[in-house]
Amino acid sequence: MDKQNIVVTYNASPEQKALLLEVLGSLATLTFLNEIQSAQREQTLERADVLLSWNFPREILPHEYPRLQHVKFIQLISAGADHMPFAELPSHIIVASNPGAYATPMAEHVMAMTLALAKRLLIEHQKLRNGEFDQFTPNRMLSGTTAGILGFGGIGRATARLMRAFAMHIYALNQSGKSTEPADFIGTLQDLEHVLRASDVVVISLPLTRTTKGLIGKKELAWMKPDALLVNVARGAIIDEEALYTHLKSHPTFMAGIDAWWTEPFLHGTFRMDYPFLELPNVLGSPHNSAVVSNILLEATRQAAENVKHFLEGEKVIGIVRREDYLW
């Protein structure tokens, strides 16, 4: 049987290249797109069976999409697939994301943001800089509070494990309303109001899809407790930007940790805020770096490569996304 042709469309590091060759070299011929001559590019894409991509729209140009008729499978290094141009790709192509690959560091980031907000660390640090020693404004204890985790995949489950160590109650939502991970309540998005009203901390770890875009707006924010903490490590567009800013400004005891923004370099080529979130004392921001720790890309590459291996060997593949969820 002829070897399959895998084209790696992103600029892999030497360590990633070695790993990909180790896992997939015996099953397929690997071509690294950044290493070939531009004259060979179209022919290489036409012969590809599998693409291994990171930021697909930056790596494959729209006029090249018709060259992908032979491609059967696209494996993403990223955990999300909302950047994929599904409407423009041949409909037969299977696309798999990389679920859970970044779950551990992202869960730690959620916990760090939650603790920093609950303990008012940024607020009190700023007061100290200004010469104010505010010892007696209470901060908050997490023990015994309820965390509502919207999205109970790899990131959500890893977050729940850390939060249970703080004796927090876990209310979780996913697509099925079922999970093997312990939770005090597990439901679907049909239970969103119930979970938002009950939660002291709300964590957003959902994929951005047609269903979840704009999921949290003025009405949903009003369901939440006046002093709730909201932490978003998923995608900015899951929350209505104007509604969140307005709610934060009018509810000074409501706090938000924002790691995922509405306009970011990965998708848009630049970072921009339409509202001055970082001027608000009840906001803590980070530059969507919750997953960025040493060696994480190598670990994510290994998981992605193993998934490609399973596809080539006819075994079960994880992370297959439903095309219709991303037809905006």
Q: Are strands 255-258 and 229-232 parallel, antiparallel or unpaired?
A: parallel
Closest by CA to 218, choosing from 195, 247, 192, is 247
Question: pLDDT per residue over 166-220, tens digit each?
Answer: 999 999 999 999 999 999 999 999 999 999 999 999 999 999 999 999 999 999 9
Q: Is the per-residue pLDDT at 328 higher than 90?
A: no
Q: Is the per-residue pLDDT at 45 higher than 90?
A: yes
> For position 207, what pLDDT does the model report?
97
pLDDT category, 1, cuts 50, 70, 90? low
> Using the 8-state DSSP alphabet, how is residue 181 labeled?
S
Given 108, 264, 299, 306, which residue is catalytic? 264
Distance CA 303, CA 299 (A): 6
Given 83, 109, 157, 235, which residue is catalytic? 235
Which DSSP string do the residues of 258-286 spell out, in sequence order?
A: E-S-SB-HHHHSS-B-SS-GGGSTTEEE-
Given 109, 157, 247, 288, which residue is catalytic? 288
Whether residue 235 lies in the annotated active site: yes
Distance CA 275, CA 252 (A): 16
Q: How far is CA 190 from CA 66, 124, 206, 225, 254, in A?
A: 39, 38, 14, 19, 24
Mean pLDDT of the region 303-316:
98
Per-chain mean pLDDT for the chain: 97
Domains and CATH numbers, the chain: 4-100+295-326 (3.40.50.720), 103-285 (3.40.50.720)
pLDDT category, 251, cuts 50, 70, 90? very high
- 281 within 8 A of 123, measured Cβ to Cβ: yes
Whether residue 288 lies in the annotated active site: yes
Q: Is 248 exposed, middle or buried (0-12, 13-18, 19+ CB in 10 A)?
A: buried
Structural tokens at position 142: 């997490």
Which DSSP string do the residues of 36-86 spell out, in sequence order?
A: S-HHHHHHHHHH-SEEEESSHHHHS-GGGGGGGTT--EEEESSS--TTS-G
Q: How far apart are the first and last CA of the chain?
A: 40
Structural tokens at position 12: 């892999």
- 236 within 8 A of 260, measured Cβ to Cβ: yes
Distance CA 154, CA 151 (A): 9
Three-state DSSP state, 109: helix
Q: How far is CA 3 from CA 45, 226, 313, in A?
A: 16, 59, 12
Whether residue 268 lies in the annotated active site: no
pLDDT category, 232, cuts 50, 70, 90? very high
Distance CA 278, CA 280 (A): 5
